[in-house]
Every structure is written in C-alpha cells, then in structure tokens.
C-alpha cells in the first residue's frame, strides 16, 4: 500500500487554480503600481505651483551696488503662505551663502549640485521631522565673477497625500467589486464549459453492459473529441474481442459436442442386451477414438488459453532452438512413420553459434509441436510416394535473427484462406484430416508473444501439390552463440 498518494484533483479545480492564482498574485502588484502612479499624478499640479512661486520669488532678488538684496512685499508674503492645508516655507541665500530671507533651517540642495541657469528643480526633503516638497532655482546676479543666488520654496505634503489617496480610492474601490465578480464569472464560465463532460459521463453511466455503440463525438467540445475517439476505438476493439470470444465458445462447444455425443451413443449401444462381442469391441474402439478426440480438443483449448494468458507472466531465458526442434522432431517420428511420412531436420547442431533466442522453452516447444502436427496431418502419403515434412533452422550470418521453417509436400493452403487458417476452429476446405482447428491459432499467439510473425507461403508454386511453408523469424539471443 502506498503511504504517500497524490491527491486526485478535478479538472474544474485545476483550471480554476491556474486562472485565479495569477489574478490574486498580480492584484497586490497592481495596487502598488496604482499607488506609485497616484503619487506622481498628485505631485504634478502642486509641483507646477511651487515652480511658479520659485520663479516669482526670484524676481525679487536685486543687486544694489555690489550687494545682493531680497525684498518681498508684505502682501506677496501673505499670499505665498496663504495655504489652508500645508505650511509653506521659503529661503533666499546670497551667492556667497549669506542668509537673506525666509527659514534659516530649510535644507540646502545636494552638495554635488552645481549652480546652473535659471531652471527650477524639485526634490523631496524633511524639515523639522516633516516631509516636504522643495522647488529651488539658482538666480544669476549681475556681479562679475559672482556665483548664483539660491531661492527655495517648500511646502508640506498634506494636500498631495489627500489627492493621492482620493486617486487610489477611485481606482481601488471598484476593484474590490470587480474582482469578486470576475471570480464568480470565471466560476460560472468553467461550470458551463465542463458541462458537456458531465453529460458525457451521464450517457456512459446510463449505458447497458452490452452496449458497445460509439459515443457521439459531435456532442463534446473539440478538445475532448480525441479522447472520445480513443474511447470509441476501445469500444470497437472490445466489441470485436467479445464477438470473437462468443464465436470461440460456440465453436468449442460444437467441437466438444460431437465426440461427447459419440461417447454417449457408443456407451448406450454397448449396454444394450444381446450385444455381440464384436459389436461391443467396435463400440469400445469408437469410445476410445471419441475420447482421444475430446482429450485432444480440451488440451488444445488449454494450450491456447495458456498462450493467450501468458503475455504478462512470460518467463524468458536463452533457448537453444536447434536442441528444441530436434527434440520435437524426434517426438513426432512415431506419428510420421505411422503415416509413411519422411520427417527430417535440416539445420545446425545444438550449441552451434547463433541458434539461441530469448523466450519461454515450454511455449516455443508447443509452437514447434503444433506446426509439425499440422504438417503431418495435412500431408498425404502413399506406398508409391511418401509425404515429406522438413523442420529447418537457419541462423543469421550476423547472429541477429534465427529463422524457423516447417514445410511439407501437401496440397498447400489457397491464398484466400491463408489468414483464415489462423482463426480458432477454422479448417481449410476440402480436407479430411483430423484436427481441432486450434493448432495454428496457438502458433500465432506464441509467436506474437516472442516478437515473431508467422508467414505462410507455397513451397512449389504452380504445382499440383505446392506444399506449405510456415516461416518465423526470432531475434537471436544476445551474448549466446
């Protein structure tokens, strides 16, 4: 059991987080920028008034003889200080720094600033512990070699702060209304946007277990259409798989029904009164044949189920294909001799280079056995002309591929039926050979699990007995041979 497990999140929550989180993070940044802009806007009109006052005071700087004087009329002084919100200060210094008028403790301009032409400059400063805004100007005097006089006008920042606060309120207060509305609208838009997904979920839940019809792609958003297409493809493959299983079960029942019915009939005949010894012997022989046929069919069904179910638990190891094929050929010799078939092996000896593959030895042996059984069953033979079945193993010169071929001298398989013979219980038309029709499906499934493909072709095209050749290419085992 996992101790730490990732909490499952909804798509709605994920999208909402990605939309609202940046919005909530940027909102304080927006407020800070609004504050800075408001300060700048609040300073502009009052800065212009300070600049005007600095220019006006500069007009009262005069030179008498070789002395600089400053004389501000009383009405002008009263008008300068007539401010209901802020305190207004001024200072005038002679070119040599001598105090001429105003507040003596008004902060001087920075030391590194040089006296220049009559241009008003602005700066923030502090007077008596209170923040002030200062406008100052250097006034040239008509004295040879004399520096400029200094005129400064300052005021506290009360009305500036009031104006900045009003600007910020005008901008920020609507945001406190707009932001919740925006969140609500985003919520409603997302809820409406994912509604088709809820409808799709309801349609899927309302389906019957046997309903494999495709979902309507037109009823979902474009972004979800690929997912619905994938689900439809899965439904199609599941439908085909279920149909194949139903056919398989029906065919298996039919294949088992015939020998079992024969067993019951022969048993009934053997139990009748007055049955002769010869008739009883024939019934027992028929019972034996039917039981052998039923046993073979059941074994083939189990082998196919084992092959199809072993994909996830396939235990692989290096397998010497030469040794394996020789063992299978030797096991099939009695059957081949019984049918007068020339059975042989053509290939390298066990342990030769390039004959090993990575696979499951039990399944590979089952594959080879079914191919040989199929070849022996469908290869005719007579005293005049014996049938021929050959198991051939061809290692690749470069040690990358091992080619297995099983060929016979039989009638072959028509091209139109070469795909059909790999379906369960299918048997080629015009044949009377014994078999369950499961051998080649087992071969194909085992080959698929080992990364090989079964190729069926004729040995002698155009001949009355073209024969059949089954070829499989396996990847050679690395580090062996």
In contact, 35 and 156? CB cutoff 8 Å: no
Average pLDDT value over all residues in the chain: 80
Ranges 272-286, 301-315, 327-341, most confident: 327-341
Q: How many helices (H) and strands (E) does the chain have?
A: 9, 14
Q: H/E element holding 108?
A: none
pLDDT at 312: 46
In contact, 25 and 52? CB cutoff 8 Å: no
pLDDT at 470: 94
Average pLDDT over residues 435-449: 80
pLDDT at 391: 94
Out of 16-20, 177-181, 235-239, 283-287, pick the least confident: 283-287
In contact, 367 and 357? CB cutoff 8 Å: no
pLDDT at 2: 47
pLDDT at 430: 47
Kindly write down the DSSP assignment for every residue of 255-292, as one continuous string.
Answer: HHHHHHHHHHHHHHHHHSTT--HHHHHHHHHHHHHHHH
pLDDT at 74: 79
Q: What is the DSSP letter of 215?
A: P
pTM: 0.48
pLDDT one-digit tens code per residue, 256-281: 665 666 667 667 766 665 567 776 77
pLDDT at 7: 61
Interatomic CA distance for residues 369 and 303, integer angstroms: 12
pLDDT at 1: 43
Interatomic CA distance for residues 112 and 118, integer angstroms: 18
CB atoms within 10 A of CB 355: 26
Q: How confident is the model at residue 392 (pLDDT cuts 50, 70, 90)?
A: very high
**More reliable by pLDDT, 171 or 116:** 171
pLDDT at 324: 95
pLDDT for residue 340 is more than 80:
yes
The percent of residues above 90 in pLDDT, for the chain, comes to: 14
Residue 306 CA neighbour count, 13 Å, CB half: 15
Interatomic CA distance for residues 303 and 368, integer angstroms: 13
């Amino acid at each position: 059991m996992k101790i730490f497990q990732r909490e499952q999140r909804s798509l709605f929550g994920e999208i909402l987080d990605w939309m609202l989180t940046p919005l909530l993070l940027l909102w304080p940044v927006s407020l800070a920028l609004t504050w800075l802009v408001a300060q700048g806007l609040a300073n502009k009109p009052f800065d212009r008034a300070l600049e005007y006052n600095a220019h006006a005071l500069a007009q009262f700087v005069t030179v008498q003889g070789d002395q600089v004087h400053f004389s501000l009329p009383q009405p002008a002084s009263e008008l300068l200080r007539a401010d209901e919100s802020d305190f207004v200060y001024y200072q005038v210094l002679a070119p040599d720094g001598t105090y001429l008028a105003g507040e003596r403790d008004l902060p001087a301009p920075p030391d590194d600033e040089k006296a220049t032409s009559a241009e008003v400059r602005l700066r923030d400063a502090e007077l008596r512990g209170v923040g002030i805004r200062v406008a100052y100007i250097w006034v040239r005097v008509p004295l040879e070699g004399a520096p400029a006089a200094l005129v400064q006008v300052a005021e506290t920042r009360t009305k500036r702060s009031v104006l900045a606060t009003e600007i910020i309120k005008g901008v920020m207060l609507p945001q406190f209304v707009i932001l919740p509305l925006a969140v609500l609208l985003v919520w409603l838009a997302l809820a409406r946007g994912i509604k088709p997904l809820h409808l799709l979920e309801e349609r899927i839940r309302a389906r019957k277990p046997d309903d494999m019809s495709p979902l309507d792609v037109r009823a979902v958003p474009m972004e979800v259409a690929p997912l619905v297409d994938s689900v439809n493809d899965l439904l199609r493959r599941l439908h085909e798989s279920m149909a194949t299983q139903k056919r398989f079960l029906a065919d298996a029942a039919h294949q088992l029904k015939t020998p079992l019915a024969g067993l019951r009939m022969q048993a009934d005949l053997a139990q009748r009164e007055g049955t002769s010894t010869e008739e009883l012997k024939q019934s027992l022989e028929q019972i034996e044949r039917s039981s052998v046929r039923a046993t073979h069919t059941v074994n083939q069904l189990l082998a196919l189920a084992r092959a199809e179910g072993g994909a996830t638990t396939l235990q692989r190891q290096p397998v010497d294909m030469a040794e394996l094929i020789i063992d299978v050929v030797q096991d099939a010799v009695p059957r081949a001799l019984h049918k007068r078939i020339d059975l042989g092996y053509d290939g390298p000896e066990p342990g030769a280079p390039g004959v090993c593959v990575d696979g499951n030895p039990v399944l590979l042996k089952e594959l080879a056995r079914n191919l040989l059984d199929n070849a022996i069953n469908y290869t005719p033979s007579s005293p005049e002309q014996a049938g021929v079945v050959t198991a051939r193993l061809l290692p690749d010169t470069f040690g990358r591929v091992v080619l297995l071929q099983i060929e016979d001298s039989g009638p072959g398989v028509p091209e139109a039926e070469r795909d059909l013979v790999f379906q369960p219980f299918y048997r080629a038309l015009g044949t009377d050979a014994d078999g369950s029709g499961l051998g080649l499906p087992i071969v194909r499934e085992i080959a698929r699990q080992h990364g090989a493909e079964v190729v069926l072709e004729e040995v002698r095209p155009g001949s009355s007995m073209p024969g059949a050749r089954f070829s499989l290419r396996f990847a050679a085992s690395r580090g062996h041979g």
